[in-house]
């Protein structure tokens, strides 16, 4: 007969066994960290100048109004002591009493475990974290208004990063979910968590990049990026994919899509039911998509001019040759939309009329307002990037990836890290997050050109951006254009996209705001019936006036775009098989370049 003591003994033995595994794994951890090639340290934090300015501003406020500062400090001290005394009494009673004060973190899913309210220890930690956060936020609010707006915005960003980083949920000893899981699994969750941590470090040369999706669940060309097609052209910059027709006839004028080279193109072809690529072919179009090379050190001197000449203009030339058409309809997404504007301006200078219409997905051209990227577009950070690319030849993928992730650090860094490393959970099989983790390096020269000339100096909409032997301006763009932006986009805010769109020289202009964000607002198939969109033909006012007069439409913007495109795509002709006698298929879609990983 098994006694309770026997069960307890076995549990302790299992726990000790798992803890011993942790000791063994520590050697792998040390080896993984030894291979780390860290980024330039300037990219890890802002210049100390901003904190000196903030401290000076706070000190000035204290000298001018010391009573208010002392009042806030005494309030903080009083609450801290009261929380400590309450916790002491609650520990003696064994339970936490009901509080008459409103829960400052109510609704925060990080603190959903009932122990945060019922257990004296965890309740005290939660209350003190909330109090500390409030004190820091108040101190930030009280900084003198003489601090420049950009510095205030940067300070606000980094202060909130510190607040999120110091959440007690991020540490094993103060996370009841992780501690409960460790006890329930007899320590196995800690072993699995450490294995997950080491695997992520080993996969990224010792750099900690939290894996967001199970990369074993997806195979390119099989259950993701699986729309049939062929690579029909390849050079040192890109592969050109022509997709197989799904209709007997197609519009005469082909479409060529230029995706961003910060990420891989298959965000537009994740799976059949939400693939824009498949949907376009199903509507009766000959579709080409560019798949950019994943840069390595040999691409250090590749600049924006190479993307324009050997990417955009070459792709347009080859599409015309394959289809026998004089014009194409072009699409540019994100940074490729920005570059498509530059390309159109250059083509106007050269008298090249190869583009019949252009569509831009979440594309910025006017960077006078830098939005959430303000902290990363100041000289100290850009100086660090210049030093990084000078040393490495490229801006390594993990640097761009972590920058994007820190804009949503709770959702994209801390909570996945807690689940992955402290709870021992495997990441989900989620195609969007898999794509998000499949990043690309950026060529050094191109990175600096983009950040200095376009983002910082905003030359394309002011004095003109010099490239390819021409000075290009947004007003040079005159072809029929449509812009699709996203209402909650934190990367390319729709109001900023609108401001640049207004400055084009085009007379035929259509502007759309899709609901949701940078990805979900674009990858929004009609069958989902999920997000609506806004339209307004009056582009004369500012963004606030535009949205105030806009009409909301149910469902995806895709059919509205297709109706606009159909009018600019010519008559119907027999469907075209990929390639021709001069462009024999080189590889089936999604091609070979897309499979190259950012391993530097």
CB atoms near residue 106 (< 10 Å) = 9
Known active-site residue 486: no
> Same domain for 242 and 99?
no
Same domain, 115 and 255: no
The pLDDT tens digits for 280-312 are 999 999 999 999 999 999 999 999 999 999 999
Final residue belonging to a domain, choices 125, 153, 184: 184
In-domain check, residue 434: no
How far is residue 291's CA from residue 510's CA, in Å, rounded to a whole number? 27
| Pairwise CA distance, residues 62 & 39, whole Å | 38
Write down the number of H helices and E strands in the chain.
21, 17
What does the pLDDT read at residue 131?
Answer: 84
Residue 539: give its domain's CATH number: 3.40.50.1820
Q: For 153-192, write each residue's pLDDT tens digit.
A: 887 888 888 889 889 999 988 899 999 998 888 888 888 9
pLDDT digits (tens, 9 = 90+) for 440-497: 999 999 999 999 999 999 999 999 999 999 999 999 999 999 999 999 998 999 999 9
Report how far residue 246's alpha carbon sits from residue 280's, in angstroms, rounded to the nearest whole number. 10
Structure-model confidence comparison of residues 372 and 533, the more confident one: 533
590 cis-preceded (ω within 30 degrees of 0)? yes
Is residue 12 included in any domain, yes or no? no
Q: Please tell me whether residues 171 and 241 are part of one structural domain.
A: no
pLDDT digits (tens, 9 = 90+) for 335-366: 999 999 999 999 999 999 999 999 999 999 99
* Residue 497 belongs to a domain: yes
pLDDT confidence of residue 241: 98
Number of domains in the chain: 2
Q: How far is CA 268 from CA 201, 420, 574, 577, 589, in A?
A: 29, 28, 25, 21, 13
Last residue of a domain, one of 184, 206, 240: 184
Rounded Cα distance, 532 and 416, in Å: 30
Give the tens place of pLDDT for each residue, 206-225: 888 888 999 899 999 999 99
197 is a domain residue: no
Helix, strand, coil share of the chain (percent; to 5): 50, 10, 35
195-198: long-range pairs with CB below 8 Å, 24+: 195/25, 196/420, 196/421, 196/424, 196/426, 197/29, 197/420, 197/421, 198/25, 198/28, 198/29, 198/32
One of 334, 455, 486, 497 is an active-site residue; which one? 334
Residues spanned by the domain of 367: 229-376+441-595
* 234/327 same-domain check: yes
* pTM of the model as a whole: 0.87
d(CA 397, CA 394): 9
Do residues 242 and 339 both lie within one domain? Answer: yes
| Judgement on whether residues 307 and 445 belong to the same structural domain of the protein | yes
Considering 153, 184, 215, which residue would you say is the last residue of a domain?
184
Q: 140 and 280: one domain? A: no
């Amino acid at each position: 007969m098994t006694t309770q003591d026997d069960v307890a003994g076995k549990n302790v033995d299992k726990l000790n066994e798992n803890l011993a595994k942790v000791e063994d794994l520590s050697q792998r951890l040390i080896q993984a960290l030894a291979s780390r090639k860290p980024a330039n340290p300037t990219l890890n934090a802002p210049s100390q100048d901003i904190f000196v300015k903030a401290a000076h501003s706070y000190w000035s406020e204290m000298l001018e109004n010391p009573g208010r500062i002392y009042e806030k400090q005494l309030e903080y001290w009083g609450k801290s002591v009261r929380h400590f005394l309450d916790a002491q009494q609650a520990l003696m009673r064994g339970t936490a009493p009901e509080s008459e004060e409103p829960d400052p973190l109510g609704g925060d899913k990080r603190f959903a475990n009932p122990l945060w309210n019922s257990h004296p220890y965890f309740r005290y930690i939660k209350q003190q974290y909330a109090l500390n956060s409030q004190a820091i936020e108040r101190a930030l609010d009280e900084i003198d208004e003489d601090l420049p707006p950009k510095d205030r915005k940067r300070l606000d960003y980094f202060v909130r990063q510190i607040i999120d980083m110091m959440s007690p949920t991020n540490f094993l000893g103060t996370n009841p979910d992780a501690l409960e899981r460790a006890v329930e699994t007899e320590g196995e969750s800690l072993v699995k968590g450490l294995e997950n941590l080491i695997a992520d470090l080993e996969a990224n040369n010792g750099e900690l990049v939290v894996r967001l999706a199970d990369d074993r669940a997806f195979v390119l060309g099989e259950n993701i990026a699986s729309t049939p097609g062929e690579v029909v052209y390849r050079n040192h910059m890109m592969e050109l994919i022509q997709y197989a027709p799904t209709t007997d006839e197609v519009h005469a004028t082909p479409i060529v899509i230029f995706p961003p080279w910060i990420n891989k193109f298959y965000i537009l072809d994740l799976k059949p039911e939400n693939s824009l690529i498949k949907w376009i072919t199903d509507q009766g179009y000959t579709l080409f998509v560019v798949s950019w090379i994943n840069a390595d050190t040999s691409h250090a001197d590749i600049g924006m001019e190479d993307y324009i000449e050997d990417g955009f203009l070459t792709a347009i030339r080859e599409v015309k040759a394959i289809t026998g058409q004089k014009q194409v309809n072009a699409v540019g997404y994100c940074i490729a939309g920005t570059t498509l504007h530059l390309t159109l301006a250059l083509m106007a200078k050269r008298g090249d009329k190869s583009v019949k219409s252009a569509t831009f997905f979440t594309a910025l051209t006017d960077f006078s307002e830098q939005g959430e990227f303000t902290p990363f577009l100041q000289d100290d950070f850009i100086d660090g990037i210049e030093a990084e690319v000078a040393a490495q030849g490229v801006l390594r993928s993990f640097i761009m990836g972590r920058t994007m992730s820190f804009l949503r650090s709770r959702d994209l860094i801390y909570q996945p890290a807690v689940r992955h490393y402290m709870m021992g959970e495997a990441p989900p099989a989620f195609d969007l997050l898999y794509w998000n983790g499949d990043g690309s390096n950026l060529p050094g020269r191109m990175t600096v050109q983009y950040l200095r000339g376009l983002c910082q100096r905003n030359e394309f909409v002011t004095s003109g951006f010099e490239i390819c032997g021409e000075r290009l301006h947004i007003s040079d763009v005159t072809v029929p254009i449509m812009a699709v932006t996203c209402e909650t986009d934190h990367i390319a805010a729709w109001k900023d996209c609108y401001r640049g769109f207004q400055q084009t020289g085009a007379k035929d202009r259509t502007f759309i705001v899709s609901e949701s964000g940078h990805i979900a607002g674009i990858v929004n198939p009609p069958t989902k019936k999920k997000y609506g969109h806004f339209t307004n033909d009056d582009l004369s006012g500012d963004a606030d006036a535009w949205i105030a007069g806009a009409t909301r439409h149910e469902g995806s913007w895709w059919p509205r775009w297709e109706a606009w495109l159909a009018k600019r795509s010519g008559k119907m002709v027999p469907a075209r098989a990929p390639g021709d006698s001069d462009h024999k298929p080189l590889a089936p879609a999604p091609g070979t370049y897309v499979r190259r990983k950012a391993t530097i």
